[in-house]
A and B are shown apart, each in its own frame.
Chain A
Amino acid sequence: MSRLSSLLRLDAKLAWEHKLVHVTVVVAAVFGALLRFAVPAEFGPDLGEFGLDIEGLDALAETTAAWASVTVLEPGASKPPVNQLLVAVLYALDLCILGFMFGSVMVLQDKEHGTVRYFRVSPGTGFDYVASKLLVNLGLSLLNFTILTGFAAPLALLEPALWLLIVLVCAGMTLVGMSLSMFLRNIAQWFFPMIVVSTLLALPTYLIVVQTPALAWTWWLPSYHILFGAEAIMFEGAATAPALAALAYAAVFCALTTLTCVPAVRGRLLREAR
């Protein structure tokens, strides 16, 4: 326990010194303030000015009515405010990607400074190493979540299921970032994989605008579940099927990434030669 608390203090200090805390606070505050003060709750009745062809959609509905039936699931449902809907989008983009990036950067910095070499000849274990970085990163993610949500949708902070979803997905993304960095030497090598992962994580947000089956596979991505899970928790309730599915996915994702990351750290980063 003393080993873990010692590493925890160290990683927290490094997060502060490398300005990860500052970046988290600024990014969350800027996005939160934008949603709160600059983005309207509704885009107005004339959606056509935002590029949507309403008349075309009506015409399509009339032609398809001949061969397809349309069921309205929740006739009385109101549209969620756009600025609050975008909070869930930012969870997918900002929280997911920052968790991944910070997890990678923490390990790559240890590699570049050679400090991981010193750790290898100390009694510290792979579990200590992963746990301390994970906890610090979770702290940053929750700080980000609190500030962003506090600005844009403060009432959502009262929803425990949302906290749980954020913790599970951010923990999983941190572990993915750490696992990936085991196979890379430095931040220069990491740059291209980072672009690929970030782009992939951003894809489910496209589904908010266009519901296309071509992106159905994005269901496998954690950003999909943080996006639609958060949306479900915030606007439909934590006990609904989409919210529970997202929480279940997040729990499995977190468990799988833990099972992958700890052995990767032991077997690759801290490999003890015997």
Chain B
Amino acid sequence: MLEVDKLTYTYRGAEAPAVREVSFRIETGQIFGFLGPSGAGKTTVQQVMTRLLELQGGEVRYDQRPLAELGRSFFAEIGVSFEHPNLFPRLTGRENLDAFMGLYPKPHLDPVELMERVGLGDALDKKAEDYSKGMKQRLVFVRALLHRPKYLFFDEPSSGLDPATARVVMAIIREQKQRGATILLTTHDMLVADKLADTIAFLHDGVIAASDTPRALKLMHGERAVRVEHRQNGVLTSETLFLDDDDDREYLASLMANGEIETLHSQEATLDSIFVKLTGKELAA
């Protein structure tokens, strides 16, 4: 289990903290999604948790062990996939993976198999400087997994990926969860967070605006309504019907009984719309 309690961090020279009293908990084998626009403080939280930044205020505990008391062997337990790929450009993909494998205790996963899964099988012996941004992103993603870490940190794992590869990456993240890894996912892509995360937190201006399961958030902030398109006297009509309204429910039942409905869409909230509702800002901003 991973616990963060009232984490606060202020960058040198900044007037206000980048994150203020951020608290959350990730149960073992769960995926926690940090959702927020660029500059919200997602990466700052992750960097404090991975000791790239100093813990100035609050507490972080890994399985009850305070971050400050963990020795260097702690780094063998974590895997970090950075948003900005940090690779040796003159080395091939295979060499980049081999380079740091020896730093971690065995057993390691088979790098070739993982590279093939993310579509880099043919690029294994190509120099990293010749990789596209998306390829570099995938290489960094694979590198984070090789030593089978207990805790995984993914920063924008689907950034720059085509939809098909993004699906493969998401499938691999789910597999990591199934093997028992505890995962922190930071993203501004609400679809990725919605599909993967067991719990989501909206981070806005360094503060958690809301946190719950995606379903609970949608139910809490959405409307129980459906949008119906049907023919009325030969004219296509579109109407929103509220499921908690008796008349609307009766009307909907009649439309369904008559077979007049052409399209029917539930009007549940998206994570994007909930974020806008809570913060007044767009997620992709």
Contact = CB atoms under 8 A, between A and B. Distances in A.
B51 A274 contact: yes
13 contacts: A2-B102, A6-B99, A7-B102, A115-B87, A117-B82, A118-B143, A119-B100, A121-B51, A121-B78, A122-B104, A123-B73, A124-B103, A273-B52
Interface string B52-88: 1111000000000001100011011010101011111
A125 B72 contact: yes
Contact of A274 (B54, B89, B90): B54
Given A13-B91, A113-B88, A273 B100 contact: no
Q: Interface majority SS on B: helix, strand, loop or mixed?
A: loop
B100 A6 contact: yes
Contacts of A185: none
Contacts of A42: none
A121 B49 CA distance: 11
A17 interface: yes
B279 to A, nearest CB: 29
A128 to B, nearest CB: 8
A49 interface: no
In the A-B complex, the 4 residue pairs with the closest CB atoms: A6-B102, A114-B86, A273-B54, A17-B90
Interface string B230-254: 0000000000000000000000000
Interface string A74-117: 00000000000000000000000000000000000000011101
A118 B54 contact: no
A274 B67 contact: yes
Given A14-B90, A123-B75, A273 B48 contact: yes
A7 B55 contact: no
Nearest to A119: B100
A17 B100 CA distance: 17
Contact of A123 (B84, B86, B90, B104): B104
Contacts, number: 81
A273 B56 CA distance: 9
B95 interface: yes
A3 to B, nearest CB: 5
Q: Interface majority SS on A: helix, strand, loop or mixed?
A: helix
A17 B129 CA distance: 12
Nearest to B105: A123
Contacts of A189: none
A6 B68 contact: no
B101 A6 contact: yes
A119 B95 CA distance: 15
Interface string A1-44: 01101110110011001100000000000000000000000000
Contacts of A13: 91, 95, 99
A122 B103 contact: yes
Contacts of A55: none
Contact of B90 (A6, A18, A118, A121): A18
A273 B55 contact: yes
B51 A273 contact: yes
A9 B54 CA distance: 31
Given A117-B82, A274-B54, A3 B103 contact: yes
Given A115-B87, A274-B67, A5 B102 contact: yes
B149 to A, nearest CB: 10
B137 interface: no
B103 A123 contact: yes
Interface string B31-55: 0000000000000000010111111
B82 A118 contact: yes
Nearest to B78: A121
A42 B78 CA distance: 65
Nearest to B76: A123
A120 B100 contact: no
A58 interface: no
Contacts of B51: 120-121, 272-274
Interface in B100-149: 100-105, 143
Nearest to B85: A114
A124 B73 CA distance: 9
A113 B86 contact: yes
A114 B52 contact: no
A273 B53 contact: yes
B88 A115 contact: yes
A10 B92 CA distance: 12
A49 B86 CA distance: 58
